[in-house]
Amino acid sequence: MSGRFVTLEGGEGAGKSTLLAGLRAHLEAHGVDLLLTREPGGTALGEAVRALVLDPALRDTCAESELLLMFAARAQLVRAVIRPALAADRWVLCDRFTDASYAYQGGGRGQPAERIRELERWAAEDLQPDLTLLLDLPVADGRARAAGRGDADRIEREQDDFFERVRAAYRVRAAEFPQRFRVLDASQPPERVLADAIAALAPLFDGSMR
Ligand code: TMP
């Protein structure tokens, strides 16, 4: 059984954490040697970057700095965590990856896609997921769910039009890479979303598992 790289994407309040917990339980019950990680984060450097990019006090962070910080965290995660795990035939389930930069820094902040593509090539070693699950939900629904989670971070403080652009950019990515993307209707009950996600994972299993 060789390693697999699965990423999970979506806007605020789309149910990523619930789905991650369900997928983890499912995969581990099927004997998958699973590594769960997240972006930005997953390494000491990445978690420090995460604290910076989400800090509401740093509200004048420019889009260029934000983009570079995301890729600084990613460069470390790819080299120190994801590649070694895949090389050891583990599965990696990552809460967000480069598609988030296309959606948030590209769609949300207007950074040109070719600039992100260039960073993806060298900073992220052009690593592409085997499967990307996109939890898609109308912005208002996601924001209603996310409300009441306590203090909003710097990015959560953005306005609805920002999150509309993020959602649109994610959908463009999904349409551009239909082979690896599965768009899940996140307005369904959590158990339906999990069932859809499990069905999407099925092709990743080879003959050694069922
Ligand atoms: P979350 O993991 O709790 O969703 O928080 C991560 C935040 O960082 C979320 O608002 C999305 C944002 N983000 C980007 O803007 N660009 C990126 O490349 C990544 C990985 C995350």
Q: What is the DSSP string of 134-200?
A: EEE--HHHHHHHHTTSSS--TTTTS-HHHHHHHHHHHHHHHHH-TTTEEEEETTS-HHHHHHHHHHH
Q: To test ligand 1's pocket by mutation, which of 18, 38, 137, 155 has the most ligand atoms within 8 angstroms of CB?
A: 155
Rounded Cα–Cα distance for residues 39 and 74 (Å): 7
Tell me the pLDDT tens digit for each residue of 54-105. 999 999 999 999 999 999 999 999 999 999 999 999 999 999 999 999 999 9
- Cα end-to-end span (Å), the chain: 12
- How many angstroms is it from 101 CA to the middle of ligand 1? 8
What CATH number does domain 5-206 carry, 1.10.760.10, 3.40.50.1820, 3.40.50.300, 3.20.20.70? 3.40.50.300
**pLDDT of residue 208 exceeding 70:** no
Q: Whose CA is closest to atom 15 on ligand 1?
A: 104
- The pLDDT of residue 72 is 98
Q: Is the pLDDT of residue 150 over 90?
A: no
pLDDT band at 207 (very low <50, low <70, confident <90, very high): very low
Residue with tokens 């990552």: 94
Angle of the 63-77 helix axis to the 113-122 helix axis, nearest 10 = 30
Q: How far apart are CA 97 and CA 113, in angstroms?
A: 15
What pLDDT does 27 receive?
97
Nearest-atom number in ligand 1 for the CA of 97 is: 20
Q: What is the percent of the chain with per-residue pLDDT over 90, rounded to a whole number? A: 92
Residue 148: predicted pLDDT: 78
Q: Where are the domains of the chain?
A: 5-206
pLDDT greater than 50 at residue 125: yes
For residue 210, is pLDDT > 80? no
Ligand 1, CB cutoff 6 Å, lining residues: 38-40, 70, 95-96, 100-101, 104-105, 155
Nearest residue CA, atom 10 of ligand 1?
A: 155
